[in-house]
Amino acid sequence: NRIPIASPVRTAAIVNRYYVHAKKNLGQNFLVDLDAVQGIVRAAGVQAGDQVIEVGPGIGSLTEQLLLAGGKVAAYEVDQTLPEILANELPEKINGQDRDECFKLIMKDVLKADFHADLDGFFDLTKPVKVVANLPYYITTPIIFNLLEADLDFTSLTLMMQKEVAERLAAQPGSKAYGPLSIAVQTRMSVDLALEVGHGSFMPQPKVDSAVVVLRPLKEQVEVGDRKQFDRVVKLCFAQRRKTLANNLKALVPAKEDREKLLAGLDLDPRQRPEQLAIADFIKISRAINEMNK
């Protein structure tokens, strides 16, 4: 019957006891809203025995609920003042298990993680893992790309981030938020917006609202061809959002004739704005430019 860490009273008690100053430069905004935290755990579908990687446990608000849901949690953290707090404040026994059996703190920048080496002996990496995190917002996109590139079998990534970034991840063609980030992620993962969380759910309160996104590996791979080339084409197509496709393509295909021929061959209207194009269109353009350069 302990009061959860994810509650204003318990968080205030921890803050007072350890003189915690939330570090802005580390993106520290602690969740003090049990409903929101349990919403994240539910969105991730964490069940007994699930292997969960958490980024940034902070003082343990989300960690505690992940453990209570039966997750086996490995958490990356960089703030050296937190191990003592987590050791004292997380429950010592969880669902009858000693904490050491189901929780491992890895004091390391998650961007420098070597997941196989770090998790060896704690996780069985022949089995899938889930990532669940209230991310440090200042490095949201590098963390997402690092995870996407990681050689791990993910069931899902359930990530809380700034609402605007969540909207960009989920955006569909025709919307303002649609752009290179939407395309880079959606060619690898499905994106679902699970819940929105207002700034009042945090301590200290951030200026922005937040949202939780669930990313899952696509059932069918999207073949983009040469990934580097594809990313470059997408980036350049969006270099000036308000200009036409033909205009943006100048950087890649300098001769007007060539551009017109390329787009006509793909049945694409050169006057369209980049945000009107489906992912499949960018794949076609990237492939065609590759062919042209052969």
Among 14, 20, 31, 214, binds ligand SAM (CB under 6 A): 31
Can you state the angle between helices 256-265 and 279-292, rounded to 10 degrees?
A: 130
Q: How near is the Cβ of 226 to ligand SAM at its closest, in Å?
A: 30
Among 30, 230, 238, 282, binds ligand SAM (CB under 6 A): 30
Query: Which residue's CB is nearer to ligand SAM, number 109 or number 120?
Result: 109
**31 annotated to a ligand binding site:** yes
Which secondary structure element, helix H or strand E, spans residue 84, and what is its range?
Answer: helix 82-89
Of the ranges 56-64, 88-96, 117-125, 264-272, which one interacts with ligand SAM (CB under 6 A)? 56-64
Query: What is the distance of C-alpha 221 from the center of its chain?
Result: 19
Residue 6's identity, in one-letter code, is: A
Count of CB atoms situated within 10 Å of the CB of 109: 11
Q: Which tokens in the block code for residue 60?
A: 């343990």
Which secondary structure element, helix H or strand E, spans residue 184, and what is its range?
Answer: helix 180-186
Among 10, 33, 46, 61, binds ligand SAM (CB under 6 A): 61
Q: Is 123 in the site for ligand SAM (CB under 6 A)?
A: no
Q: Is 78 in the site for ligand SAM (CB under 6 A)?
A: yes
Indicate the DSSP class of residue 202: E
Of the ranges 22-30, 97-105, 222-230, 279-287, which one interacts with ligand SAM (CB under 6 A)? 22-30
* 247 SS3 class: helix
Taking the C-alpha atoms of residue 231 and residue 275, their distance in angstroms, rounded to an integer, is: 15
Binding residues: 29, 31, 56, 77, 109, 134
Q: What does the binding site for ligand SAM look like in residue numbers (CB under 6 A)?
A: 26-31, 55-58, 61-62, 76-79, 109-111, 134, 136, 139
